[in-house]
Amino acid sequence: MRDAYADQLDSIRTDLVSMSRLVLDAVSRSTHALLEGDAATAEAVISDDTKVDQFREDIEQKAFEILSLQAPVAGDLRMVIAAMRMVSELERMGDLSVHVAKIARLRVPEIAVPTRVEPTISRMATIAAVMVGQVERIIGDRDVEAAKALEEADEEMDKLRRTSFRELLGSDWKDGVEAAVDVALLGRYYERIADHAVSIARRVVFLVTGDMPAAV
């Protein structure tokens, strides 16, 4: 019986890692669609979001079964609670990738990101993807130090977000209102992906240590 219970807990962690990989794929492909004006890839990201949603449903169902049938305590209870929170964060990251893909699709055959701000948006997208990739490893390895280190990447993301605003509000902006709205939204989407990654990392710290790190 205890072996079956341990297998259930391991299954949740394995599913969280797999869900993280799906989200990373969505972030990467939506960025490709955005920067290359690739409508087909944008459509694929949008349609594949149901896979992320299905993972959430499956993980939540497993968590509810453990809570109702096994009455977990201590570290096991933390695992189940943290998993239920993390799965929501991962689903939201997938949704944000879909938002990026929709902007890409809307502007085809043009590219939504003006040339002048492409370096900033591209860097934000890269950081977001790296952070999601780190989340996969942090969950799989329960790596507290890597979880804490994710805060540094988030600081760079925040700086880039401020840079994008300065570019948009500069007197020399000549790409129009439509492009300005797109860039403002894209900056927000990538920033939120990073925020969710940090939130997941903090929950892993809670899972391992029992202490929830304070938001900075």
The answer to whether the beta carbons of residues 100 and 31 sit under 8 Å apart is: yes
Half-sphere exposure of 165 (CA within 13 A, CB side): 8
Q: Please provide the size of the chain in residues.
A: 216
How far apart CA 162 and CA 91 sit, in angstroms, is: 26
Is 171 inside a domain boundary? yes
Is 214 inside a domain boundary? no
CATH code (residue 77): 1.20.58.220
Side chain identity at residue 46, one-letter code: I
Hunting for tokens 């690739």 — which residue is that? 38
Query: How many C-beta neighbours within 10 Å does residue 211 have?
Result: 9
Walk along the chain (216 residues) and give the pLDDT tens digit of each residue.
Answer: 457 767 888 898 899 999 999 999 999 999 999 999 999 999 999 999 999 999 999 999 988 888 787 766 777 888 888 889 999 999 999 999 999 999 999 999 999 999 999 999 999 999 999 999 999 999 999 899 999 889 888 999 999 999 998 988 888 899 899 999 999 999 999 999 999 999 999 999 888 887 766 654
Is 215 inside a domain boundary? no
Is 216 inside a domain boundary? no
Q: Which among 153, 107, 152, 111 has a CA at the least distance from the CA of 128? A: 153
Please give the residue range of the domain that contains residue 56: 2-209
Number of domains in the chain: 1
Q: Which among 212, 164, 163 has a CA at the least distance from the CA of 185? A: 164
Tokens of 183: 């860039």
- The DSSP annotation for 98-127 comes to HHHHHHHHHHTTS-SS-GGGHHHHHHHHHH
Is 197 inside a domain boundary? yes
